[in-house]
């Protein structure tokens, strides 16, 4: 009997111990879970306590567009550009996106953000090449380059791009209202580019690098012969060819100069220069200068 009772007591003690251990394990597990959850909440950037989801009501496209117009009217083109850009994001593949892009280009241009205007115009012309607004966008793009033309001492990439842009308008949209102004600005760009060539040509001439100088003056006559720089370019060619001892080309340059600009001081100077060396203007019809001007001056 004693053995049996001791056995029963031992069994009961073991059971209690097992239950106590299970309870302790459960508490430990709950503690670890709580600690883990706390750590997760601590490092969770999307925790509900820090960030709350807000659903903003949709703004009608017309309202966003009108807000952009209001910003423009109030003299805030940069803010207007942001509003017009929103249209493309909110309503892609729609006519509002096209309108928004058009007005963004205009607003960027008005804000003096010419690089943004150029990029926007490039995108517009690619996505909407047949739009009725395409001539205007091309005109804005050319003017964005035009506004960035520096003095002739600096790189003339902007002048080249502006010239190409205005020439494209005249060629591609000959009946548009932007042709007349484009033609005027073509002459301005050409004069600028010719001036750059002349500046470099004189630099080489002063250093007796006659071949390099001739190449620059030739560019003026070949690409910008209607500019005010053409008479001087011909005179400088007289100087350069004489420097090389190529008298027949020097005489041709003077002859072409006299035929096309007989009353200019440049021709008088060229005539005197040749005369001082016992020479006179005389054109060689095979010279590249004669072929450019398509004229022959009688000897």
80-115 pLDDT per residue, tens: 999 999 998 999 989 999 999 999 999 999 999 999
Note the pLDDT of residue 51.
Answer: 53
254-287 pLDDT per residue, tens: 999 999 999 999 999 999 999 999 999 999 999 9
pLDDT > 90 fraction of the chain, expressed in percent and rounded: 75
DSSP 250-278: HHHHHHHHHHH-TTSHHHHHHHHHHHTTT
Note the pLDDT of residue 93.
Answer: 86
Q: Which two tokens stand for residue 60?
A: 């009608």
CB 98 within 8 A of CB 128: yes
15-31 pLDDT per residue, tens: 454 455 444 454 444 44
36-50 pLDDT per residue, tens: 444 444 445 445 555
pTM reported for the whole predicted model: 0.76
Q: Report DSSP state, residue 59.
A: P
* pLDDT classification of 59: cutoffs 50, 70, 90: confident
Note the pLDDT of residue 88.
Answer: 86
Note the pLDDT of residue 257.
Answer: 97
Structural domains of the chain sorted by starting position, each given as residue range(s) with its CATH number in brackets? 60-123 (1.25.40), 200-293 (1.25.40.10)
Mean pLDDT of the chain: 86
List CB contacts of 184: < 8 A, sequence separation 6 or more. Answer: none
């Amino acid at each position: 009997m004693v053995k049996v009772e001791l056995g029963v007591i031992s069994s009961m003690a073991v059971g209690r111990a097992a239950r106590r251990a299970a309870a302790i394990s459960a508490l430990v597990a709950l503690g670890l879970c709580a600690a883990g959850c706390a750590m997760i909440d601590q490092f969770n950037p999307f925790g509900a306590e820090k960030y709350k989801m807000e659903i903003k009501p949709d703004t009608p496209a017309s309202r966003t567009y009108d807000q952009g117009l209001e910003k423009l009217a109030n003299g805030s083109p940069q803010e207007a550009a942001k509003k017009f850009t929103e249209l493309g994001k909110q309503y892609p593949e729609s006519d509002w996106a096209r309108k928004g892009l058009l007005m963004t280009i205009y607003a960027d241009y008005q804000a003096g953000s010419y690089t943004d205007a150029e990029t926007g115009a490039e995108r517009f012309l690619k996505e909407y090449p047949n739009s009725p607004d395409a001539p205007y966008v091309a005109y804005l793009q050319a003017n964005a380059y035009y506004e960035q033309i520096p003095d002739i001492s600096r790189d003339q990439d902007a002048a080249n791009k502006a010239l190409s842009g205005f020439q494209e308008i005249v060629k591609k949209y000959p009946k548009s209202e932007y042709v007349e102004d484009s033609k005027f600005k073509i002459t301005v760009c050409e004069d600028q580019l010719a001036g750059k060539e002349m500046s470099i040509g004189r630099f080489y001439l002063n250093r007796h690098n006659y071949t390099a100088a001739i190449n620059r003056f030739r560019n003026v006559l070949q690409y910008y012969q209607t500019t005010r720089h053409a008479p001087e370019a011909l005179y400088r060619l007289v100087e350069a060819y004489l420097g090389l001892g190529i008298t027949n080309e020097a005489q041709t340059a003077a002859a072409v100069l006299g035929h096309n600009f007989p009353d200019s001081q440049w021709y008088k100077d060229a005539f005197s220069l040749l005369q001082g060396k016992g020479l006179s203007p005389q054109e060689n019809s095979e010279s590249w200068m004669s072929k450019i001007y398509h004229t022959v001056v009688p000897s």
